[in-house]
Structure formats: structure tokens, C-alpha cells
Amino acid sequence: MIEEGDRVLLVGNGRTYFVRAGNGDLSTDLGILDLGQLTGTTPGDQITSHRGSSFTIRIPRPADFFAHARRSGAPMLPKDIGLVIGYTGMNHRDTVLDAGTGSGIAAIYFGGIAARVDTYEQRPDFARLAAANILDAGLENVEVIPADVLLANGKYDVVHFDLSITPAHVEHAHTLLNPGGYLACYTPFLEHLFAVLDTAQGLFEEVQAHECIEREMTRSPRGTRPSTRICHTGYITIARK
């Protein structure tokens, strides 16, 4: 049941609104919605605008936070977060360390999977925004720690870095990992990839660097072809202790 303050998606007429149950109105081109109606509803229920248009209520999923949550910068794409999960086999038994948190999107994905996630973010304003996003996602197993990840201690099954990486980060990750655990580093630039590989190759058991070129396939009456645009996002290095 949806409670006051919960994040909710309203879906109607091909559009999606990311709102909060409680006081206030939402103006849409299909009329005004009283968001107070949302409290006490169940996902799948509908609410109606003053002009009689219906909107379906949904609980946002991680990809919805990627699409709609407030951002402090460019978060990793769902495909790259998914690759980290796939390469590391992240699962409900895992304790995960994540840094830098940024907008908290990766932490929301990981928090929906792992037993516990500690996510480090040095910038206090980013950390506050991420904590708000994570709270909206209803996750109680994710802690945002407003500090340099080089100060982290404890033991983790997966360490994930999306930050300006240095050899010290790779070395520190090695001390934080349980045996058999994985370090995953996301680096947009080749120079950072090189730094990660040069440090990890001497330290970890298995090290692999992946580039994943993703294309959308489009199909229309004209024909089928790869979309004319493809994005390079970053290299993902996976190192197992």
C-alpha cells in the first residue's frame, strides 16, 4: 500500500510522471491530478484527473530512477550497471562497496540485489542528493557515506568504482575484498583503463577489461538496421581476488 511521501509513477496516455504521494497537485495536459489521492492506493490502481483522464499507479523500478531521479552528473547507464552485475554475479548474499555514489543510481540497482551496500561519495551535496534518491527507492540496506572511499574498511564481496580512479583505489579495493570477490572499475577514458590494468594485473588473480559497444536495432516499414548512433560509454575492468 502506498503511503504519504512514497515515490510513485503515474502512467497515462503514453506519458509517465514521477511524483510523490501526498499534498499537492500535478498539472498535466490531460488535467490536474490531486496527489493526495495516492495515499492508501495499491500499484495497478488508477486515479483520475479533474478532466476525467485515468492514470495508472506504479512503483518505480531502478530503471525509472535512472530516467526520472534528480541527478548530480551523468550516471552510468543501466546496460553498464547490468554488465557489472553480470560479470560479478552480484546476488542477495553479497556485501557491496560502491564509490563514487553520484546520483545514487548504481547504488539503487545494487541495493535491490545485494544484502548490504555501502556507497562512498566525497562531495557532501552529491551524497545528500543520492541519499534522497535511495530513500525514495525504499531501500533500507544502502548507506551513503559522505567520505573518501580510501578511508573505507571492512570486508566486501564486490567493490565497484565509478570515479577518477588512481592506483591507490585499486590497491585499497584489494584489501577490502573477500577472497574470490570482485573489483569492477568503470572508466570512460583509455588512460584510466591503463592505470587500472597496470595496478590490478600484479595484484589480482584474474583481470579482464571489457569494452561493450551497444547499438539499438530499428525496424520500420523502410527496413531494419542498426540505429545510426551508437554510444561509447566506458571500459569495465573486472578483477577477481
Positions that interact with a copy of itself (CB under 8 A): 9, 11, 14, 43-44, 56, 58-59, 61-64, 77-93, 109, 112-113, 178-180, 188-194, 197-198, 201, 205, 208-219, 222-232, 235
Of 61 and 128, the one with the shorter C-beta distance to a copy of itself is 61
The C-alpha cell of 41 is what?
A: 492506493
CA distances to 38, 137, 138, 230 from 21, in Å: 5, 13, 14, 38
CA distances from 84 to 4, 69, 169 (A): 34, 21, 17
Least distance to a copy of itself, CB of residue 193, Å: 7
Min dist CB 25 to a copy of itself, Å, is 23
Question: What 3-state DSSP class applies to 74?
Answer: coil
φ, ψ at 149 (rounded to 5°): -65, -20
Closer Cβ to a copy of itself, 115 or 151, answer by number: 115
Q: Look up cell 578483477; give the residue.
A: 239
Nearer to a copy of itself, 99 or 197 (CB): 197
For residue 145, the minimal CB distance to a copy of itself (Å) is 22
Nearest-approach distance from CB 141 to a copy of itself, in angstroms? 9
For a copy of itself, the closer of residues 147 and 212 by Cβ is 212
> Which residues, 6 or more positions from 220, have their beta carbon under 8 angstroms from its beta carbon?
none
